[in-house]
Amino acid sequence: MNTKRTELSLLLEGIGVEARIENLHPLRPLPLTSFSSHTHTAFEVYFLKKGSMRISVSEEERFLKEGEVFIIFPQTEHFVLETSRDVEKFNLRFLLHNVNRSQFERGGLLYETGEAVRKELFFCIEGISSNIRVQTPMNAYRVKSYLGVLISHLLQGIFPELEGLKPGGGETGRNARLEQSIVMDDFFLKYYDTHITLETLAEHLHYSKTHANRLLKQIWGMSFSEKLNQTRLQAAKKQLTESEASLEQIARLCGYSTLRGFELFFKKQTGMLPSKYRQTYKPKGDDGF
């Protein structure tokens, strides 16, 4: 069974929110090997229809059970630690204009609401799943309607009185900023272990180097090398604390041809050698995955 990634965006005028649905159909457990530590410029939401999952958010473990909804804030390092065999989950990512990561003290938020609203949320998810299978103008309209209801509830959970949320203009038609941020996220997560450059990213986006660099600054607030180092560092930390791979293996997994190069990079980023980091932060008795 193939996983279908849905590329559907919605712009809510006057609030300044862009949303994109991902991995809604079909539902299936994901293999543990597919999870890696990462961040997004967008909010990411997990809807747990069935089963349970354990996730790490800002180096804190959170256990989610059936029927719960968890919102991960932008620029928050997170990854899935494990899921139950019967897990069925949905993913949704959305951007808010004029909202900075500094506004959020925590990395994530368990969306807590009454049973009626919770049922409405999952009713909307089911409506999206059933209508997105066949691409027609009417089905697309229904999907966007359901998505609008979902987003309005989530915004109320993040901003109880919608405080701090300013009207935003943003893009009209295609929501280019959200699409670009997700494409960049996926690019770094897929290719961080290879020799990639700004030229590689520009070719991937079909943009000039200048424009690609400008987008990096606008979306991430960092240069290409800074974003690549951030992604590699997140992957290295996870491998050091969650696996039994040797330092040489981890170096290769993080795009370094020599252990010395990896050690110099890691020490510059964290102030300690990889071996010391593993000794300090790897849970005792943890056999990895």
- Find out whether 176 and 211 touch, Cβ atoms under 8 Å: no
17 band by pLDDT with thresholds 50, 70 and 90: low
- Report d(CA 188, CA 156) in Å as an integer: 32
Calpha distance 204→89 (Å, rounded): 30
For 232-245, the pLDDT digits (tens) are 998 898 889 888 89
36 — pLDDT class (breaks 50, 70, 90):
low
Q: Is position 164 within any domain?
A: no
pLDDT at 28: 37
pLDDT tens, position by position, 219-276? 778 899 999 998 899 889 888 988 889 999 999 988 998 999 999 999 999 999 999 9
CATH of the domain at 56: 2.60.120.10
Backbone angles phi, psi at 82, to 5 degrees: -165, 160
Q: Residue 128: how many CB atoms within 10 A of its CB?
A: 24
The model's pLDDT over 134-149, given as tens digits with 9 standing for 90+, comes to 777 777 778 778 887 8
Structure tokens at 118: 């919770």
Whether residues 144 and 196 fall in one domain: no
Are the C-beta atoms of residues 17 and 96 closer than 8 Å to each other?
A: yes
Q: Considering its fold, how many domains does the chain have in total?
A: 2
Same domain for 120 and 227: no
From first CA to last CA, the distance across the chain in angstroms is: 25
Please identify which residue in the block is written with the tokens 């009626």. 116
**CA 24, CA 140: separation in Å to the nearest integer?**
14
Q: What pLDDT score does 177 carry? A: 66
Using the predicted structure, report yes or no on whether residue 118 has a pLDDT greater than 90. no
Last residue of a domain, one of 158, 183, 211: 158
244 and 149 in one domain?
no
- Place 172 in a pLDDT band, splitting at 50, 70 and 90: very low
How big is the CA angle at 251 (ends 44 and 72), to the nearest 5 degrees? 10
**pLDDT band (50, 70, 90) for residue 70:** very high
**Burial class of residue 147 (count of CB atoms within 10 Å of its CB; 0-12, 13-18, 19+):** buried
Q: Are residues 134 and 36 in the same domain?
A: yes
For residue 3, pLDDT beyond 60: no
**Higher-confidence position of 44 and 288:** 44
Same-domain pairing of 63 and 109: yes
Q: For residue 288, what pLDDT is reported?
A: 39
- Residue span of the structural domain in which 50 resides: 8-158
* Mean pLDDT of the region 204-218: 86
Please give the average per-residue pLDDT across 55-62, as a whole number. 87
Which pLDDT belongs to residue 14?
42
2 domain residue, yes or no:
no
Q: What is the pLDDT of residues 86-98, one digit of tens each?
A: 888 887 777 776 5
* Residue 252 pLDDT: 92
Q: How many residues does the chain have?
A: 289
128 and 13 housed in the same domain: yes
The pLDDT, as a whole number, for residue 176 is 60
Domain-located, residue 243 = yes
Are 238 and 37 in contact by the 8 Å Cβ rule? The answer is yes
Q: Average model confidence (pLDDT) for the chain? A: 76
